[in-house]
C-alpha cells in the first residue's frame, strides 16, 4: 500500500503530469500551435507555453522539484500558495490586471470558458484545442506576466514602454 501511495505521489509531482492532462493522447508529431506561424514579437509567449507544457519552466514549483530552491511558495503574492502554472495564470493576485485583459478576450471568443474552474481553464489554454483566435492574446499574457514576475522576484528595473515594464518601474 505504501509503495502504491509513493508511486502515486511521484506521478502527481512528475513534470509530465500536467502534460498528460493537457495533450491529446492520440496525437503524434508537433502540436498544431507549433506548426502555425507566429509573429516574432510573440514567439517568447509561444516558447513559454511550450516550457510550461514540458515542465521545464522557471516557476518555483519546477525549481523546487529540481531542488534549485527550497520553497515552492509564490514570491509574487501573499497567498503562500505553491507557484504552479495554474496559480500563476489564474490565481496569483500580482497579475490580476493582466489576467482580466486576457480573460475578457477568452470569454468573448469562448463564452463557455467562463463556467470552467481554474484547473479546467488551465487545461484549455495549455492544451492542444485552444481556439486559434485566442492564441496571440495568450502569448501576450504570458509575456506580460513573465516580465512582471521577473521584476517582482529579481527587483529588476526596466525602462521600456510595455505595460508590464511601466508597472515594473512603479514597483521598484
What is the rounded CA–CA span in Å between residue 129 and residue 71? Answer: 33
What is the rounded CA–CA span in Å between residue 69 and residue 116? Answer: 32
- Does residue 165 carry a pLDDT above 60? no
Mean pLDDT (the chain) is 78
Percent residues over pLDDT 70 in the chain: 66
Between 78 and 107, residue with greater pLDDT = 107
- Does residue 119 carry a pLDDT above 70? yes
C-alpha cell at 148: 512582471
What is the rounded CA–CA span in Å between residue 110 and residue 125? Answer: 11
Q: DSSP string spanning the chain? A: -HHHHHHHHHHHHSTTHHHHHHS-TT--SS-HHHHS---GGGHHHHHHHHHHHHT-SSSHHHHHHTTSSS--B-SSSSS--B--HHIIIII-GGGHHHHHHHHHHHHHH-GGGGGS-HHHHHHHHHSTT--HHHHHHHHHHHHHHHHHHHHHHH------SSHHHHHHHHH-
23-36 pLDDT, tens digit each: 666 667 888 898 89
Give the global pTM.
Answer: 0.75
What is the rounded CA–CA span in Å between residue 111 and residue 62? Answer: 32
pLDDT at 162: 46
Percent residues over pLDDT 90 in the chain: 40
**Alpha-carbon torsion angle 65, 67, 69, 75, nearest 10:** 0
User: Contact at 8 Å (CB) between 168 and 148?
Assistant: yes
What is the rounded CA–CA span in Å between residue 130 and residue 120? Answer: 12
Amino acid at each position: 500500500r505504501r509503495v502504491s501511495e509513493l508511486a502515486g505521489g511521484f506521478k502527481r509531482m512528475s513534470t509530465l503530469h500536467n502534460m498528460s492532462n493537457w495533450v491529446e493522447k492520440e496525437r503524434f508529431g508537433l502540436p498544431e500551435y507549433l506548426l502555425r506561424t507566429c509573429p516574432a514579437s510573440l514567439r517568447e509567449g509561444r516558447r513559454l507555453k511550450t516550457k510550461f507544457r514540458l515542465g521545464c519552466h522557471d516557476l518555483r514549483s519546477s525549481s523546487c522539484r529540481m531542488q534549485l530552491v527550497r520553497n515552492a511558495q509564490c514570491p509574487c503574492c501573499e497567498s503562500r500558495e505553491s507557484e504552479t502554472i495554474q496559480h500563476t495564470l489564474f490565481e496569483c493576485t500580482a497579475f490580476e490586471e493582466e489576467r482580466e485583459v486576457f480573460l475578457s478576450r477568452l470569454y468573448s471568443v469562448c463564452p463557455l470558458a467562463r463556467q470552467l474552474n481554474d484547473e479546467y481553464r488551465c487545461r484549455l489554454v495549455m492544451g492542444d484545442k485552444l481556439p486559434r483566435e485566442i492564441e496571440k492574446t495568450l502569448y501576450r499574457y504570458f509575456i506580460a506576466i513573465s516580465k512582471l514576475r521577473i521584476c517582482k522576484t529579481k527587483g529588476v528595473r526596466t525602462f521600456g514602454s510595455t505595460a508590464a515594464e511601466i508597472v515594473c518601474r512603479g514597483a521598484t
